[in-house]
A and B are shown apart, each in its own frame.
Chain A
Amino acid sequence: MMGQEISISQLRRWLLTYAERVIENEGHLTELDTAIGDADHGVNMRRGMGKLQERLQEEMPSDDIGAFLRSVAMTLISGVGGAAGPLYGTFFLRAATSPTNGRSVDLAQLTQMFRYGLDGLQQRGKAKADDKTMIDAIQPAVEAMEAALAAHQSAAVVLAAARQAAHLGMIHTIEIEAKKGRASYLGPHSIGHQDPGATSAYFLFETAAEVLTKTTDSE
């Protein structure tokens, strides 16, 4: 409901959970990227997530959400290495420019944060829906959040809708041909394989639904 606020410490916990989830799935991401790419997505993401954990496990980089997200972005830009570095980096860099209440965001602001990130990602990577990229998980998730928000749903419902849409989007990448990135060199041979970028992007929404709906703690 309106008035539900998500604190900066919840956002921090979300990204720590995301980092863990990606690291647990390194092998899976590598396997997916071996099939249609250069087999580096798992290793690159693990390296970036390790850097992110170090950064976030130190004291809070900032008590302002904008500055916090910028710091997350810079860590990923320098820490990942493959295409995922500038892409996830741009996602958070742009998300950092969306309006907040300083140490917290309401549900509308959270949704807008994801929208800003998605728009930045599309400008950077120049990918559209159905190009078999991260966009195929993130765009439907953001659209689902916006629709649920417009229907005055609670944070739990909005984030569950995002997770479900991101999951469907990720699975949909199995059926389509890659138009961007290393996988596009394979043309129609890329059909039948799930996109590794869409998979790591799905984890953003899976972990958001798990973590951001828990009651604000007193940190």
Chain B
Amino acid sequence: MYAACWRGQREVIGLVIVSHSAKLAQGVYELAAQMAGDQVGISLAGGLCDDCETLGTDAQRILTAIEEVWCEDGVLLLMDVGSAVMSAEIALEMLPEARRRNCLLSNAPLVEGAIVAALHASLGEPLQAVNAQAEAALSASKLG
């Protein structure tokens, strides 16, 4: 049932990209997938609908995205600004308790965090370790 989590012999966590903008979510996905290839299940919850350009976040869409990449080993959610976090919190509350325990909201910046998380997830690292790497991007200096 959780076939999405297995890559050969290795079980990897799932990633969910949450953004107010469907285009931004898609762009972040492309950057992350470049690092992880098809080694990591990454799902998107961008904007308010699939075929519109309305900006916003929707807890139901985030819930669906979590279920798409659901793994026993866990799912890491990366969010953009403002209410993306509140919508993600509501999505977690809508999950059954057993699944909620294995989901984590990351404090990482969206672009850097997704790239780093995809890389470390593809190496089979556990949820907390992947998130720690992604959040470390907050304190990394871009300008050297």
Interface residues of A (CB under 8 A from B): 40, 44, 47, 74, 77-78, 80-83, 85-87, 89-90, 93, 124-125, 181-182
Contacts and interface: CB of A to CB of B under 8 A. Distances in A.
A94 B83 CA distance: 18
B86 A83 contact: yes
Which of A40, A78, A181 is most buried by chain B, counting CB atoms within 10 A of its CB?
A78
Which of B55, B60, B82, B86 is most buried by chain A, counting CB atoms within 10 A of its CB?
B86
B59 A89 contact: yes
Interface of B: 48, 54-61, 82-83, 86-87, 89-90
Contacts, number: 51
Nearest to A93: B90
A78 B60 contact: yes
Nearest to A80: B56
Contacts of B82: 83, 181-182
A89 B90 CA distance: 9
Contact of B90 (A40, A86, A181, A182): A86
A10 to B, nearest CB: 28
Given A40-B55, A89-B90, A90-B90, A83 B83 contact: yes
Given A81-B48, A181-B82, A182-B82, A86 B87 contact: yes
B56 A86 contact: no
Given A89-B59, A182-B82, A81 B89 contact: no
Which of A47, A85, A181 is most buried by chain B, counting CB atoms within 10 A of its CB?
A85
A81 B56 contact: yes
A85 B56 contact: yes
Contacts of A181: 82
Contacts of B58: 77-78, 81, 85
A81 B55 contact: yes
Given A77-B58, A83-B82, A87-B83, 17 more contacts: A74-B60, A77-B60, A77-B87, A78-B58, A78-B59, A81-B56, A81-B58, A82-B56, A85-B56, A86-B57, A86-B59, A86-B89, A87-B86, A90-B90, A125-B86, A181-B82, A182-B82
